[in-house]
Amino acid sequence: MDPQEPPKKRIAVIPGDGIGQEVIPQALKVIRASGADVAMSEFDWGADRYLRDGMTVPPDGFAMLGRDFDAIFAGAFGDPRVKTNIHAKEILLGMRFKMDLYANVRPVRLLDAALCPLKGVEPKDVDFVVIRENTEGVYTDAGGVFKQGTPDEIAIQEDINTRKGVERIIRYAFEYCEQHPKLDGSSRSRVLMVDKSNAMTHAGGLWQRMFKEVSGEHPQITAQHMYVDALCMQMVRDPRPFDVIVTNNMFGDIITDLAAGLQGGLGMAASGNIHPGKTSMFEPVHGSAPPIAGKNVANPFGAILTAAMMLAHMGLTREAEKIEAAVREAVRQKKTTQDIGGTLGTREAGEWVAERVTKRLSS
């Protein structure tokens, strides 16, 4: 190897369950077509494996991912045969929590006006990002059930918010705002903190104080606040004012499905689970979608856009841009699956994008 050449990036691929097994192979095809200098290793973690031999994550699995890979590319986890959802919890939330991937970055971008259910909304009007806290909140599953099955049953689900956790995600949002311009090249300028501090005063108070402190260090960025209920209403009335949104784990989960609706549905939404400087994990926002799994109808573009996000994160920006341009062109030409108005299957839509990426390479 030329000593000047950067080392090949190593990607761990975990397709998982349901449509994860259909969309990830399409995204891998597109990554290969982009010419990205990567080595990919696949892992069979998911419901099938769990039902076969009880394994969710092998011992030392997370340490191995962090040590041997530059990024993780995951599909989806969730299978009606595993009622407890234990494998998804251990694999997906395991990566987020045990690898401390504290920033769940979910860009919300409209690629074509035809995809937005709102009237008169164009791509330039929807280009914001949700920075979701990814290691705390109600997702820690702290709490318990007492007197289960009796009329006196008590269920407690604690909302854990640490000063360290809240501060670092707010800081991440401000730094993201400074470092990531919009698609049209203009700078980002606003960070909106979303909470429910009018009802959840203890956790909300901590978020409010940390937001004030960190925003004070970034006077050039406009700091804004909204309650999460009002935000939902605003998002479907007029998404134009949004820029960078920072919020807790649960609210971030919910509003990014809503925001996926603005982009054309869950099949279009990408995400990254990031800890700067550590091996990070990238996955489409959608789940395993059991009703449509195995039918070659799932939209692979969310996974393909996620692949582009992962390549950009690893510094392969040229390849990422080529992939995004090809997806945008596919949407424009309606070379898509049915959920966003086309007639192609999962494989055919993936193939079209891969071919487009290859053509752009040779032209």
- 324 touching Mn ion, by CB under 5 A: no
**Of the candidates 71, 88, 166, 192, which one interacts with ligand IPM according to CB under 6 A?**
88
The region, left, alpha or beta by phi > 0 then psi within -120 to 50, assigned to residue 290 is alpha
Find the binding residues for ligand IPM in span 259-318 (CB under 6 A).
Answer: 285, 287
| Gyration radius of the chain over CA positions | 20
Comparing C-alpha atoms, which of 225, 232, 253, 287 is closest to residue 138? 253
Catalytic residue, chosen from 139, 159, 176, 322, is: 139
Two tokens at 186? 């203009």
Binding-site partner at residue 27 among ligand IPM, ligand NAD, Mn ion, none, CB < 5 to 8 Å by type: none
Catalytic residue, chosen from 229, 238, 278, 334, is: 229
To the nearest 10 degrees (0 to 180), the angle between helices 20-33 and 346-362 is 10
Q: By Cβ distance, which residue is nearest to Mn ion?
A: 253
Is-catalytic flag, 2? no
- 350 touching ligand NAD, by CB under 6 A: no
Q: Closer CB to ligand NAD, residue 38 or residue 270?
A: 270
Is-catalytic flag, 125? no
CA geometry: angle 127, 164, 197, nearest 5 deg: 65
Exposed (0-12), middle (13-18) or buried (19+): which is 347, by Cβ within 10 Å? middle
Q: Which helix (H) or strand (E) holds 225?
A: strand 222-227
Distance CA 261, CA 108 (A): 10
Output the smallest distance, CB 88 to ligand IPM, in A: 6
Give me the phi and psi of 246, to 5 degrees please: -120, 135
Residue that the structure tokens 């919890």 belong to: 89
Binding-site partner at residue 270 among ligand NAD, ligand IPM, Mn ion, none, CB < 5 to 8 Å by type: none
Comparing C-alpha atoms, which of 167, 311, 169 is closest to residue 252? 169
Span from 152-160, 183-191, 249-257, 350-358 in contact with Mn ion (CB under 5 A):
249-257
Q: Are residues 302 and 266 in contact, defined by beta-carbon separation less than 8 angstroms?
A: yes
Is-catalytic flag, 60? no
Distance CA 77, CA 321 (A): 28
Q: Are residues 76 and 289 in contact, defined by beta-carbon separation less than 8 angstroms?
A: yes
Output the smallest distance, CB 98 to ligand NAD, in A: 16
Count of other CB atoms within 10 angstroms of residue 228: 17
Output the smallest distance, CB 93 to ligand IPM, in A: 6
Catalytic residue, chosen from 89, 98, 182, 196, is: 196
Is-catalytic flag, 147? no
Q: Closer CB to ligand IPM, residue 113 or residue 228?
A: 228
Span from 47-55, 135-143, 149-157, 291-299 in contact with ligand NAD (CB under 6 A):
291-299
**Of the candidates 27, 76, 105, 357, which one interacts with ligand NAD according to CB under 6 A?**
76
Q: How many residues bind ligand NAD (CB under 6 A)?
A: 22
Q: Closer CB to ligand IPM, residue 36 or residue 92?
A: 92
Distance CA 179, CA 196 (A): 28
Output the smallest distance, CB 165 to ligand IPM, in A: 16
- 253 touching Mn ion, by CB under 5 A: yes
Residues 6+ apart with CB under 8 A from 245: 128, 129, 130, 131, 173, 191, 192, 193, 194, 231, 255
Distance CA 351, CA 74 (A): 20
Show the site string, 16-45: x = touches ligand NAD by CB under 6 A, - = not.
Answer: ---x---x----------------------
- 92 touching ligand NAD, by CB under 6 A: yes
Q: Are residues 8 and 39 in contact, defined by beta-carbon separation less than 8 angstroms?
A: yes
Question: In the complex, which residues of this chain contact ligand NAD (CB under 6 A)?
Answer: 19, 23, 76-78, 85, 88, 92, 266-267, 283, 286-292, 298-299, 302, 339
What residues make contact with Mn ion under the rule CB under 5 A?
253
Which residues participate in catalysis according to the annotation?
Answer: 139, 196, 229, 253, 257
